[in-house]
């Protein structure tokens, strides 16, 4: 005997499972873009640059697209996409407690060694909005120095011309795939949230020239698997 209601119950069950597990992951995948949009409005940098940078730094394939992932850590070239904020924060805290400092954190892979002093706590550094605001300020300062947003994007990664050139090749590829952004792509500063002094003030110029790192482009791999093949030939 067939029970017509059973099919409907199965559909409801599938829908509930999707909402319980699939939707939060999908929402988290958009946290970096939402943070980039907010930072672009507040600080006055092109949204297209921030959206491209967060994908170059933390992007992973989602179907036919590349989406940034907010809970990304890179420890000395060992990049990981963590499943949750709690997992990433616990890993970062454990590494810091163990004396490690070369850790790139969050949507824009801000380096703890060079920029950690700008944040009260690693949890603030991992927070997508705080991470994006800091990256936007750093990018704004680089643009003021170099006079070009693309050059600023390259310096965001490295002051070494060869490293910056390889980084920019990937950056341009992603920028072209994304296309134009919204009207927030216009540089229109709004009311900027107070998050401390300029990022460049946290390091001496010689140190910046020697390292030139806000983050790392070593491509992350899912935390529960072995490292995947890089999306591009990284540094």
Nearest to 68 by CA among 172, 163, 174, 151: 174
CB 56 within 8 A of CB 206: no
Answer yes or no: is pLDDT of 105 > 90.
yes
Given a contact cutoff of 8 angstroms between Cβ atoms, the answer to whether 105 and 131 are in contact is yes
Report the distance separating Cα 81 and Cα 22, nearest Å: 17
pLDDT tens digits along 122-178: 999 999 999 999 999 999 999 999 999 999 999 999 999 999 999 999 999 999 999
In contact, 213 and 158? CB cutoff 8 Å = yes
Please state, rounded to an integer, the average pLDDT across all residues of the chain: 76
Bridge partners of 222?
Answer: 81
The span from the CA of 19 to the CA of 14, in Å, is 9
HSE (side-chain half, CA atoms, 13 Å) at 102: 9
Angle (nearest 5°) at CA 57 between 206 and 201: 30
Across 95-119, average pLDDT: 96
Whether residue 18 is predicted with pLDDT greater than 90 in this model: the reply is no
What is the signed CA dihedral for 196, 200, 203, 209, rounded to 10 degrees? 170
Displacement of CA 200 from its chain's centroid (Å): 19
Token pair listed for 16: 């509930």
pLDDT score, position 181: 59
Which structure tokens are listed for 96?
A: 């810091």
Sign of the alpha-carbon torsion through 89, 90, 96, 100: negative
Where are the domains positioned within the chain? 4-222
pLDDT-based confidence at residue 29 (cuts at 50, 70, 90): confident
Q: How far apart are CA 108 and CA 132, in angstroms?
A: 7
How far from 167 is each of 70, 134, 157, 176, 235, CA to CA, in Å? 20, 20, 7, 14, 8
**Total Cβ atoms within 10 A of residue 43:** 23
């Amino acid at each position: 005997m067939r029970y017509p209601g059973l099919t409907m119950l199965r559909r409801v069950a599938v829908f509930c499972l999707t909402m319980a597990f699939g939707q939060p992951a999908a929402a988290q995948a958009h946290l970096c873009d939402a943070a980039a949009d907010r930072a672009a409005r507040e600080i006055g940098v092109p949204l297209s640059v921030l959206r491209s940078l967060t994908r170059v730094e933390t992007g992973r394939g989602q179907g036919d697209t590349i989406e940034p992932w907010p809970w990304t850590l890179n420890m000395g070239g060992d990049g990981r996409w963590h499943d949750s904020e709690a997992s990433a924060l616990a890993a970062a805290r454990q590494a810091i407690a163990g004396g490690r400092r070369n850790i790139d954190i969050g949507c824009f892979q801000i380096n703890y060694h060079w920029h950690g002093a700008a944040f009260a706590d690693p949890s603030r550094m991992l927070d997508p909005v705080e991470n994006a605001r800091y990256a936007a300020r750093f990018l704004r300062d680089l643009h003021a120095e170099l006079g070009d947003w693309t050059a600023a994007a390259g310096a965001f990664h490295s002051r070494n011309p060869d490293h910056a050139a390889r980084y920019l090749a990937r950056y341009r590829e992603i920028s072209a795939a994304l296309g134009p952004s919204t009207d927030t792509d216009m540089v229109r500063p709004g009311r900027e949230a107070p998050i401390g002094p300029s990022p460049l003030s946290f390091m001496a110029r010689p140190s910046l020239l020697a390292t030139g790192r806000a983050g790392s482009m070593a491509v992350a791999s899912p935390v529960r698997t072995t490292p995947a093949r890089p999306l591009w030939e990284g540094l």
